[in-house]
Amino acid sequence: MTETSGILKGVRVLDLSRMLSGPYCTMMLADHGAEVIKIESGTGDTSRANGPFRDDDPDHLWAGYFVSLNRSKKSVTLDLKNPNDKAAFCALVRDADVLVENFRPGVMERLGLSYEYLATLNPRLVYGAVRGFGDPRSGQSPYADWPCYDVVAQAMGGIMAITGPDAASPTKVGPGVGDIFSGMIMAFGLMAALRHADATGAGQFVDVAMYDAMISLCERAVYLNDFTGTVPGPEGNEHPFLAPFGLFGAQDGAVALGIVDDAFWRALAGVMQGDALVRDTRFSTRAARAKNRQVLNTLVGAWTAQYTKAELTQKLGGLIPYGPLQTVQDMIKDPHVAARNMLSTIANPDNPDRPWRVASNPLRFGAAPLPTPASPPKLGADNDRYLTPAPPPSMSDQDKKALREAFGSFATGITVVATRQADGTRRGFTANSFTSVSLDPPLVLICIAKTALSYEVFRASACFSVNVLSDAQRDISQIFASQAANKFDLGRWSNGTAEMPVLRDALANFICQRENLVDGGDHVILIGRVLDMQSQQGAPLGYFKGNYFSVGLDQPLISAVAKSGTVKLGGVLSRDDEVLLKIAGDGSCSVPLAPTDDSRLIALVARLAAAGLEADLSVLYSVYQENETGLHGIFYHGSVTGDAPKGYGYFKISKLPLDRITDTAERSMLARYAHEASQGNFGIYQGDQSSGTVHRTVGREPSKL
């Protein structure tokens, strides 16, 4: 992201305007460092397609019209008829200082985005509207609904009637002054309104009519009509009250003279004919020159026609108000233009070797140099930067249930979070959404639902405790997850640092000072800085897929998986290079299994112990589900000692009787075990009875769960 500079740095402008008047206004602001965000439809500002285009732009992406007016701006695309896009636009309004549009009256109102509504979102907003005939808020014009472009404003505003060679040839001023002058006036108005907003905190509506701007530009015609009773008309290049004033021919073109006072006349007369002309009473005063202006203009014209523009420049430049008539090509070569940096070079993102040349901003500030203009934006180039992504479609109840179940696939511990209110009352809730955040500084987080009864309490609490529960504290978890009134009657509680409630038998206690609150949708993330802590040995209470589990041998994590199905729990037990198998009466074999009515690991260990075998089963080796029956197979790996009792036997790992293993899943598992044992690299299988994934671990022994 490029940082802007300039006297208007920090001012954010939303530019909904198109074509010339509004874009010229916002160009004036962007040139001086304002952050101008151009809001465009999917097809973009009309000026993007109006040309002209250079020969190095075959795709017609960069019209000269657009490049000149929209340098240093950003572009986002929004369909203001789309509810999501409208919401994104309103989000931009809340952080904006200025908004500019040049739609016809009523357009923004029909979109539900009137100034009055937007002001409720941002009372400091300065809202600028450039219209052909103004906005009804400032006076209801009979032409309010008329569309208007520059030529219409020039015609109706009087400037064409006083421009041209004669009354029969009214002439449009070459540049789009109806648009440009309106845009400049609007830029002034916005800055004035911004100053007022800074002083009062209140924004306002700013209105400029192009018709009105042309009346202002033709101020001379207005006062002449009043003072003289005449209707001013075209005067060509002359002036009705001043002479010599206007264009005068030269050998290779024309030059402009503007003789207003007597001193300048005497200087010109002295160069033309010396003292004789200076003493000529027909021209000695302004009034005399005006009375005899036709004679004088003819005299001066005959004199200038004898010389080239260069020769006249040598004679008159700096002596009197004088300048040669120049084309744009002459102007580009003029040393003044270079000295004043009145031509700016803009980087062409598609052709760095051919930058664009545009007219520079003429306004300069001594303490804030004019920044180098940046490239105009490609359509929608800044969407990712400025637009908040549209919210995803609302989830159905079924989708929410599926998501909740999926979230439950992540096994967690259980905590009780507690605090003390100002009146001494203790409050707490059960949470499994707890995690460490940082060691330096020591930070943890807890998530609490906004619908929770204790939400407002914990939102306002300066401190809180997090108590990590052991596998013997399931009842405490359950009561703090309920709405019971006497929750703290269960368990041994004491007061810790900052008088926070501490569960004495918990595996760990953290007393925290609130560091931050972060909005997290339907939850709030409560981040705490650890002030004090303690911990002790023990087995934690876990939570998985809506069920509690203990991490100990008697109630493994995997048992929660099998809640809804039948479990077959067994063990691959090795002694040196042999594996213990159970042998049935028909000679078929299987791995040792827990009793069918007690599918717990501790039950398998007890069954083996009853047969005179001591088993150490602490390593998970295979977890699968039979798709057709729903049966869960859970197998551990470990070591065994003791002679094989009746019904059991030891078999070499390299010569396992796989043909005697009747269960397909067990046969596949033992074949994998034999292979992994030969490689010295075991893994954990996860899948169904026929296919799945082996999560590899490095080393001779399988990794522990």
Tokens 């989830």 locate to 395
DSSP state of 487: G
DSSP 205: E
Burial class (CB in 10 A: 0-12, 13-18, 19+), 195: exposed
Name 12's Cβ contacts closer than 8 Å, sequence gap at least 6.
34, 35, 37, 95, 96, 97, 98
Within 8 A by CB and 6+ apart from 438, the residues are none
> Residue 587 contacts by C-beta under 8 Å, 6 or more apart in sequence?
660
Q: Per the structure block, which two tokens stand in for 171?
A: 């002439």
Tokens of 207: 């209105």
Count CB-CB contacts under 10 A for residue 11: 22
Instruction: Write the DSSP assignment of 666-689 as a string of letters.
Output: HHHHHHHHHHHHHHTB-EEEEEES
> Using CA atoms, how far apart are residues 34 and 4, in angstroms rounded to an integer?
8
In sequence order, the β-bridge partners of residue 413 are 542
Catalytic residue chosen out of the listed positions 135, 179, 212, 471: 179
Within 13 Å, how many C-alpha atoms sit on residue 322's CB side? 20
Copy the structure tokens of residue 638.
């470990």
Please tell me the distance from the alpha carbon of residue 30 to that of residue 12, in angstroms, as a whole number.
10
**Phi, psi at 685, each rounded to 5°:** -85, 135
Sheet with 442-449, side-by-side order of all strands: 426-431, 415-420, 463-468, 508-520, 523-535, 442-449, 434-439
CA angle 334, 335, 340 (to 5 degrees): 105
Q: Is-catalytic flag, 79?
A: no
Give the span between the Cα atoms of 451 and 382, in whole angstroms: 37
- CB neighbours of residue 430 within 10 Å: 18
- Plot region of 318 (φ>0 → left; ψ -120 to 50 → alpha; else → beta): left
3-state secondary structure of 209: strand
The catalytic residues are 179
